[in-house]
Amino acid sequence: MNYVFIGDDESFKNIFEHLKASKYLGIDTESDSLYSYYEKLCLLQIAVESRIYLIDTLSVNIAPLKPLFEDATVRKVFHSAESDIPLIKNLVDCGFNNIFDVMIAAKYAGIEKCGLNNLIEKYFSVSLNKKYQKANWGLRPLKKEMLDYAAMDVFYLKKLKEILIQELKNKDLLEEFHSHCAACSRIGKKNYYFNPDAYMNMNGFRKLDGKKAGVLRELYVKREEVAARLDVPSFKVISNETLMHIAGDPEKALSDLRSFKGVSEYVFSKHGRWVAEAVRKALDSEHPHKREPRVRPRPSGDFEKYKIVFENLRKWRLSAAKKRNLFPELVLTNDMLWKIAHIERPSIEELERSGIEQYKVRLYGQDIINFLSTPAHHAHHY
């Protein structure tokens, strides 16, 4: 396997003409999501016909790749573009044209296990080393074994594309697949947003009374501040499970924090003080905790009605998927179904206006309208 590590802007300039000359780019990324508060793109792997380039995005300005990403004559092959494109867009102000997502292609081909390792083993009888899947790609220098691993992630992309494109042609699904990929290419940047109310979605929250819920809120917000200051993911400070246990028995936490599962000597010495302060602050607060979840506010109108429509649409989706021998998520996602559930008088125009991709409306629009107009569904709806 022929790969070159690119660690500075000058080396990147030297390979740029080679990249521009290729009509195919196999693309993958490595990030530090398990090791930093704000996930960063740490390595960009690009395979062309005769070589693989491993570009250190912590040291190299990759903005000049914009015209290649946007060039409709250059095919960009990913495995799970939905994961890679947002990270790339954080560094390059660009769009993407002509992408081929191997994972999506595998799903359209009816392959249940569509992870890259599974596909490579299925078609090439090669078992990849998974050792560095969760490695810290933000560390420098990168080990040779890590670079070998990263290069293998793009080595098979073109071959997989050629195999899967033929399978999609045989199933007459190629055009639909390309429309799906075009929709994926429009995904935006990776957004970093902390919702201070998201603790209300944690398992066990609804069992907490007002004071204990207030303790959980205070711990949740304070943990995020600590994680941001230390530049680590919040789960590496203290787990959600441990926060929930502490909130469930705050008085004990003040007297014997070490007794809680998840509070090791290291956690206690590093975080014990702020945990105790957060618990004390919440217990001393005179403001009652508001129990209305605000993470996903209920829409105006009859929520239960929308929920029934949504559940009916899921049944329709299962039937539609069986008819076409597709996985249900390839028909419409849950988010799409939820949008449709809120349309009072479904029509082709309303479906398009709700944000459903046009090719999906062409494929399923009239069927959805007919389904929602059936007397049985109408009775359930109202």
Q: Are residues 180 and 208 in the same domain?
A: no
Question: Other C-beta atoms within 10 Å of 260: how many?
Answer: 20
Q: Are residues 175 and 231 in the same domain?
A: no
Q: Are residues 172 and 319 in the same domain?
A: no
296 within domain boundaries: no
Alpha carbon distance 80, 287 (integer Å): 46
Instruction: Tokens for 259, please give them.
Output: 């007794």
pLDDT for 375 beyond 90: no
Residues 6 or more apart whose Cβ sits within 8 Å of residue 151: 1, 3, 45, 52, 54
- Over range 191-218, report the average pLDDT: 93
Q: Are residues 166 and 238 in the same domain?
A: no
Three-state DSSP at 32 gives coil
pLDDT for 29 beyond 50: yes
pLDDT for 189 beyond 90: yes
Q: Are residues 95 and 161 in the same domain?
A: yes
Alpha carbon distance 259, 252 (integer Å): 9
pLDDT for 142 beyond 80: yes
Q: Are residues 38 and 150 in the same domain?
A: yes
User: Which residue type is seen at 178?
Assistant: H
Question: Looking at 122, 150, 185, which one is the last position of a domain?
Answer: 185
Q: Are residues 172 and 133 in the same domain?
A: yes
Alpha carbon distance 112, 329 (integer Å): 12
Q: How confident is the model at residue 295 (pLDDT cuts 50, 70, 90)?
A: very low
Alpha carbon distance 154, 327 (integer Å): 26
80 within domain boundaries: yes
Between 128 and 318, residue with greater pLDDT: 318
pLDDT for 345 beyond 80: yes
Q: What is the pLDDT of residue 38?
A: 94
Q: Are residues 58 and 172 in the same domain?
A: yes
298 within domain boundaries: no
Evaluate the omega torsion of the peptide bond into residue 141 and state whether it is cis, within 30 degrees of 0: yes
Q: Are residues 159 and 10 in the same domain?
A: yes
Which element (helix H / strand E) includes 4?
Answer: strand 3-6
| Alpha-carbon distances of 107 from 60, 173, 244, 348, rounded to whole Å | 34, 11, 38, 27
pLDDT, tens only, 36-68: 999 999 999 999 988 999 999 999 999 999 999
Instruction: Tokens for 34, please give them.
Output: 């398990």
Beta bridge mates, 376: none
Q: How confident is the model at residue 382 (pLDDT cuts 50, 70, 90)?
A: very low
| Alpha-carbon distances of 202 from 208, 217, 244, 294, rounded to whole Å | 11, 11, 8, 13
Q: Are residues 267 and 372 in the same domain?
A: no
Question: Other C-beta atoms within 10 Å of 108: how many?
Answer: 21
pLDDT for 246 beyond 50: yes
Q: What is the pLDDT of residue 184?
A: 95
pLDDT for 219 beyond 60: yes
- Over range 194-203, report the average pLDDT: 94
The answer to whether the beta carbons of residues 28 and 79 sit under 8 Å apart is yes
Question: Looking at 129, 158, 185, which one is the last position of a domain?
Answer: 185
Total tally of structural domains belonging to the chain: 3
Three-state DSSP at 65 gives helix
Alpha carbon distance 311, 377 (integer Å): 11
Alpha carbon distance 288, 371 (integer Å): 46
DSSP 221-255: HHHHHHHHHHTS-GGGTS-HHHHHHHHHSHHHHHH
- Over range 344-358, report the average pLDDT: 93
Structural domain range at position 320: 303-381
Residue 152 has, within 13 A of its CA and on its CB side, a CA count of 20
Instruction: Tokens for 165, please give them.
Output: 């494109």
Query: Phi, psi at residue 173, to the nearest 5°?
Result: -120, 5
What integer best gives the mean pLDDT of the chain?
Answer: 93
Looking up tokens 């109202």 gives 382
Q: What is the CATH number of the domain that holds 146?
A: 3.30.420.10
Q: Are residues 120 and 177 in the same domain?
A: yes
Q: Are residues 46 and 162 in the same domain?
A: yes
Note the Cα 205 to chain centre separation in Å.
Answer: 25
Q: What is the pLDDT of residue 312?
A: 96
pLDDT for 161 beyond 90: yes
pLDDT, tens only, 269-293: 999 999 999 999 999 987 656 555 4
pLDDT for 5 beyond 50: yes
Question: Burial, 33: exposed, middle or buried (Cβ in 10 Å; 0-12, 13-18, 19+)?
Answer: middle
Q: What is the CATH number of the domain that holds 218?
A: 1.10.150.80
Q: What is the pLDDT of residue 290?
A: 58
Question: Looking at 125, 158, 185, which one is the last position of a domain?
Answer: 185
Instruction: Tokens for 93, please give them.
Output: 């102000």
312 within domain boundaries: yes
72 within domain boundaries: yes
- Over range 187-206, report the average pLDDT: 92
Instruction: Tokens for 271, please give them.
Output: 């975080």
345 within domain boundaries: yes
24 within domain boundaries: yes
175 within domain boundaries: yes
Beta bridge mates, 153: none
